[in-house]
Amino acid sequence: MLMVEEKEIVVAGRFIKTALLRDEWLEEIENPEHFIGAMKKQDIRADLFTFWQKLPETEPKYEYYMERDPIAAIPIKSYEHWMNHQIERSARKAVRKAEKKGVTVSVSGLNDDLVKGIMTIYNETPIRQGRPYPHYGKDFDTVKKDLSRDQHRSDFICAYAGGELIGFIQLGYTGASVLPFGMVSKLEHRDKSPQNAMLAKAIEICEAKKIRYLWYGKWGEDSLGDFKKNNGCEKLNMPRYYIPLSAKGALALKYHLHHGLAEAMPEKAKLRMKEIRKKWYAMKHRRTEPSGKEQE
Per-residue pLDDT of the chain (296 residues), as tens digits, is 789 988 999 999 888 999 999 988 888 888 999 999 998 888 788 999 999 998 888 999 999 999 999 999 999 999 999 999 999 999 999 999 999 999 999 999 999 999 999 999 999 999 887 788 999 999 999 999 999 999 999 999 999 999 999 999 999 998 889 999 889 999 999 999 999 999 999 999 999 999 999 999 999 888 888 999 999 999 999 999 999 999 999 999 998 888 866 555 666 666 676 677 666 666 666 654 443 332 22
> Among 96, 102, 108, 97, which residue's Cα sits nearest to residue 164?
102
Alpha carbons 130 and 295: distance in angstroms, whole number: 21
Instruction: Characterise 182 by phi-psi region: left (phi > 0), alpha (psi -120 to 50), beta (else).
Output: left
Tens digits of residue pLDDT in 236-266? 999 999 999 999 999 999 988 888 665 556 6
pTM: 0.84
The predicted structure's pLDDT at residue 169: 97
The predicted structure's pLDDT at residue 290: 43
Residue 289 in contact with residue 126, Cβ under 8 Å? no
Instruction: Report the topology of domain 77-211.
Output: Aminopeptidase (3.40.630)
The predicted structure's pLDDT at residue 286: 60
Alpha carbons 158 and 122: distance in angstroms, whole number: 14
The predicted structure's pLDDT at residue 267: 65
Alpha carbons 72 and 228: distance in angstroms, whole number: 7
The predicted structure's pLDDT at residue 54: 87
* CATH 3.40.630.30 domain extents, the chain: 77-211
> Among 154, 150, 152, 160, which residue's Cα sits nearest to residue 106?
160
Secondary structure of the chain as H, E, C letters: CEEECCEEEEEECCCCCEEEECCCCCCCCCCHHHHHHHHHHCCCCCCEEEEECCCCCCCCCCCCEEEEEEEEEEECCCHHHHHHHHCCHHHHHHHHHHHHCCEEEEEECCCHHHHHHHHHHHCCCCEECCEECCCCCCCHHHHHHHHHCCHHHEEEEEEEECCEEEEEEEEEECCCEEEEEEEEECHHHHHHCHHHHHHHHHHHHHHHHCCCEEEEEECCCCHHHHHHHHCCCEEEEEEEEEEECCHHHHHHHHCCCCCCCHHHCCHHHHHHHHHHHHHHHHHHHHCECCCCCECC
